[in-house]
Amino acid sequence: MRTPTWPVASGSLIIGFAVAQGTGVRALGGIVLVAGAGWCAQRWRRSAGTGRTVALVLVYLGAFVGSHLIHEQVGAWGAVLIAASVTGLATWALADAALARSAGATA
C-alpha cells in the first residue's frame, strides 16, 4: 500500500505554523507549507488524478486562509488545528481512502 498523504497534508499546516511561530520568521513556515503541499500534490496527481489534486490543493489553501479568518475567535492554535483537520479529512476522503480500498482488494 502507498503511504497515505493525509498526515503530511495536515501535519505540514501544523508544523509550518509551529516553525513560523517558534522562529518568528513566517517565510520559514511558508517553506514547510509549500514543501508539504508540493509533496502531496505530486502523489495526488498520480493516484487520484488532476481534478482531485486541484480540489485538494484548493482545500489546503482554503483551510490556510480560513485559519487566518477565524484565529481571533478560536485562538491561533485552534484555528491551525481546525484547518489541519479539514485538510486531513478531505485528503482522506478524496485521495487516501481510494488507495486503502484498492490496496485491500489486491491483498
Q: Which amino acid is at 59?
A: V
Measure the CA–CA gap between 90 and 102, rounded to whole angstroms.
18
Q: Report the residue count for the chain.
A: 107
Query: Residue 1: inside a domain, yes or no?
Result: no
86 in Cβ contact with 63 (< 8 Å): yes
What are the tens digits of pLDDT across the range 52-103?
A: 999 999 999 999 999 999 999 999 999 999 999 999 999 999 999 977 776 6
What are the tens digits of pLDDT across the range 44-61?
A: 999 999 999 999 999 999
Query: Residue 40: inside a domain, yes or no?
Result: yes
Residues 6+ apart with CB under 8 A from 13: 33, 36, 60, 63, 64, 67, 80, 83, 84, 87
Look at residue 107 and tell me whether its pLDDT is greater than 60: no
Note the pTM of the prediction, 2 decimals: 0.90
Query: Residue 34: inside a domain, yes or no?
Result: yes
What are the tens digits of pLDDT across the range 12-32?
A: 999 999 999 999 999 999 999
Query: Residue 107: inside a domain, yes or no?
Result: no
- The domain of 91 spans 6-101
